[in-house]
Structure 1
Amino acid sequence: MSRIHTATILERKRIADDALEISFSRPASFDFVAGQYIQVKLPNLLHADPRGSSRVFSIASSPNDRQRVSIAFRRSASGFKRSLEQLPLGGHVLLEGAHGFFTLRHAPRRPIVFVAGGIGITPQLSMIRFATEEKLAAPITLLYLNRSEKSAVYLDELAVLARRSTHLSIRSTFKAVDMPDVRQAADDFPTAVWHLAGPAGMVDRVRSLLSLSAVDELSVCTEEFVGY
């Protein structure tokens, strides 16, 4: 059974037109692997929510950051999200986890291709942060899909990380993913491990395109972001 930890709200910042990042203090006993998720529970809801007082979020921060645990989400009319936005800094939440198997799978030099749709970048950002900090030798390519540049979270940080690392390249696009995008990456990295994260429709489409590109399904892992 996973443990429940009490954490403090440290920081709240806007990371895109309609998205926020919230950072909590990291309890000393809380450990996780890059790519995992947690359940965040609010002791009190400031706004009623028929789905209750907790939600699941992928962790965006690196496991190497011992000071904080960060999550990100699109703003909405959800009573839970509105409450989380309005709770004061210094307020407390409960963190349960970490969970999940959408983690950094790689052989020492086997290429990694991330395909992220919108807020689905969060678990992959955790992996990218960790990989660059640890100076992992495997080349990493990120195909990052967004509706527009204004809606793209962490775009500036990703560009900085790519400039600092010879092993990381970013391919950002503001349209629906199509066969040429996937085929190019599959041709460039025929032995890659693929990590797909984002809305279910996007993940299904990319999985189908990879199958058409003859990518081994055992080399593909996925994380579907359902409305929360």
Structure 2
Amino acid sequence: MVTRYEVKLLHRRQVAEHTMEFTLEKPGGFEYRAGQFGDLVLPAGSGLDESHAKHGFSFVSAPFEDTLRMATRMRESSAFKQAAARLPEGSRVALLALWGSFTLHKNTRTPALFLTGGIGITPVRSIICQALHEDSGHEISLIYSNRSPEQAAYHAELQQLSREHPRFHYLPVFTASQGHVSAQTLREHGGDIARSICYLSGPMGMVKDMRALLVEAGADEDHIRTEEFEGY
């Protein structure tokens, strides 16, 4: 069921090079599962017509947190993103929710491997933070690829979480200096891939390439779950 919420844009901030995070107030009683997403609808004053004023975003915030956060890679060619960047803090926006089944599996005896790059980190950050907050017991590995540390959203936070939680293993890969993620990278740093539920998120082309790498590294194709982003 789709529900419309009228919420306030509290603030926005740059969380990585060319990546903007938007913080919204959380409506009373609003519940969602980590990894799900909603549509952000800009007001009429944004200058966009109705057909261009809506865009879907995963929640980067975790359900236990007090606000809702969404993040996106900014592009000059996107009228929606440019309008969102100009929207004054305190403006009222609409949120249409709730969709998505890209959520953490229940069986804590089965490891989780997250493989993503760039803006694909948004639902992953939500899932991992919620699991660690709940002390769920899952063994979680994250391999996160970006061209440089400056382009890696939430990199410092993920490093800190990996230091604080022995069950969370984080490998950042910076392709400008280290090269691209390979099947060998996955075999060495992805935990028990053959047993793991593997999660891929990001633009369609990246998800397709990463799926092939996972299979090459020994993942069970039936255990690969994906969330493909549109508009990138």
Question: The TM-score by the shorter chain falls in which range?
Answer: over 0.9
Q: TM-score, normalised by structure 1?
A: 0.93
Say what the alpha-carbon RMSD is for the aligned residues. 1.7
Which deviations, in whole Å up to 9, do the C-alpha atoms of 1:125-152 show, x marking residues without a partner?
0001101100111111000011111111
SS of the equivalent of 1:101 reads: coil
Confirm or deny: 8 A CA contact 1:49 1:80 kept in the other structure.
Answer: no
Equivalent position of 1:113 in the other structure: 113
Confirm or deny: 8 A CA contact 1:10 1:90 kept in the other structure.
Answer: yes
User: Following superposition of structure 1 onto structure 2, how do residues 78-227 of structure 1 map, counting pairs within 5 Å?
Assistant: 78-175=78-175, 176-185=180-189, 188-227=192-231
Matched residues in 1 for 2:72 and 2:192: separation? 32
Change (3 A) 1:50 1:31: closer
Of the structure 1 ranges 10-19 and 204-213, higher mean CA displacement relative to structure 2 is found in 204-213
Confirm or deny: 8 A CA contact 1:186 1:215 kept in the other structure.
Answer: no
CA shift, 1:48, in A, is: 4.3
Of the structure 1 ranges 107-116 and 188-197, higher mean CA displacement relative to structure 2 is found in 188-197
CA shift, 1:220, in A, is: 0.8
Confirm or deny: 8 A CA contact 1:58 1:71 kept in the other structure.
Answer: yes
SS of the equivalent of 1:150 reads: helix
Which deviations, in whole Å up to 9, do the C-alpha atoms of 1:148-184 show, x marking residues without a partner?
1111101011111111111111111022322211233
Equivalent position of 1:74 in the other structure: 73
SS of the equivalent of 2:129 reads: helix
CA shift, 1:96, in A, is: 0.6
Matched residues in 1 for 2:43 and 2:213: separation? 43
Which deviations, in whole Å up to 9, do the C-alpha atoms of 1:28-60 show, x marking residues without a partner?
132110000110001125344795101000100
Confirm or deny: 8 A CA contact 1:5 1:30 kept in the other structure.
Answer: no
Matched residues in 2 for 1:21 and 1:217: separation? 33
Matched residues in 1 for 2:62 and 2:141: separation? 18
Matched residues in 2 for 1:45 and 1:226: separation? 25
Confirm or deny: 8 A CA contact 1:12 1:21 kept in the other structure.
Answer: yes
Confirm or deny: 8 A CA contact 1:45 1:80 kept in the other structure.
Answer: no
Task: Give ranges in structure 1 of 5+ residues lacking alignment.
Answer: none
Query: Which one-letter code corresponds to 2:73 in the other structure?
Result: R
Q: TM-score, normalised by structure 2?
A: 0.92
Equivalent position of 1:27 in the other structure: 27
CA shift, 1:189, in A, is: 4.1
CA shift, 1:185, in A, is: 4.2
Matched residues in 2 for 1:61 and 1:13: separation? 14
- Structure in which a larger fraction of residues adopt helix: 2
Task: Give ranges in structure 2 of 5+ residues lacking alignment.
Answer: none
Matched residues in 2 for 1:106 and 1:129: separation? 16
Matched residues in 1 for 2:106 and 2:229: separation? 23
